[in-house]
Amino acid sequence: MISERHNNLDLGTWRDRQVLSFNEYKQDAILEQEKVMLDFVSQFPDVHWSWRAEKGLFYDICRKQVTIDKQANSNGVIVFGNGIAVTSTGTLVRRIRNLVQNISVAYVGINRFAISEHNLDFKLPDSIEQSLDLIMKYCNPGFKRLHTFDRVDGDHMIFAHPMDCYGLCR
Domain total in the chain: 1
With 90 as the cut, is the pLDDT of residue 63 above it? yes
Average pLDDT, the chain: 84
Is residue 64 domain-resident? yes
With 50 as the cut, is the pLDDT of residue 33 above it? yes
Is residue 19 domain-resident? no
What's the pLDDT at 170? 80
What's the pLDDT at 111? 87
Is residue 20 domain-resident? no
Compute the average pLDDT of residues 70-77: 83
CB atoms within 10 A of CB 98: 9
C-alpha–C-alpha distance, residues 163 and 159, integer Å: 9
With 60 as the cut, is the pLDDT of residue 40 above it? yes
With 50 as the cut, is the pLDDT of residue 74 above it? yes
Is residue 10 domain-resident? no
With 70 as the cut, is the pLDDT of residue 23 above it? no
Is residue 3 domain-resident? no
Length of the chain: 170
- Kindly state the percentage of the chain with pLDDT values over 90: 54
pTM score above 0.75: yes
With 70 as the cut, is the pLDDT of residue 22 above it? no
Q: What is the CATH number of the domain that holds 115?
A: 3.40.50
pLDDT tens readout for residues 100-145 = 998 999 999 998 888 989 999 999 999 999 999 999 999 999 999 9
Is residue 48 domain-resident? yes
Alpha-carbon distances of 75 from 47, 49, 63, 101, 104, rounded to whole Å: 6, 6, 16, 10, 6
Is residue 118 domain-resident? yes
- E strands, 54-169, in order: 67-68, 76-79, 105-110, 144-145, 164-169
Is residue 16 domain-resident? no
With 80 as the cut, is the pLDDT of residue 68 above it? yes
Residue 43: domain span: 30-169
Phi, psi of 105 (to 5 degrees): -140, 140
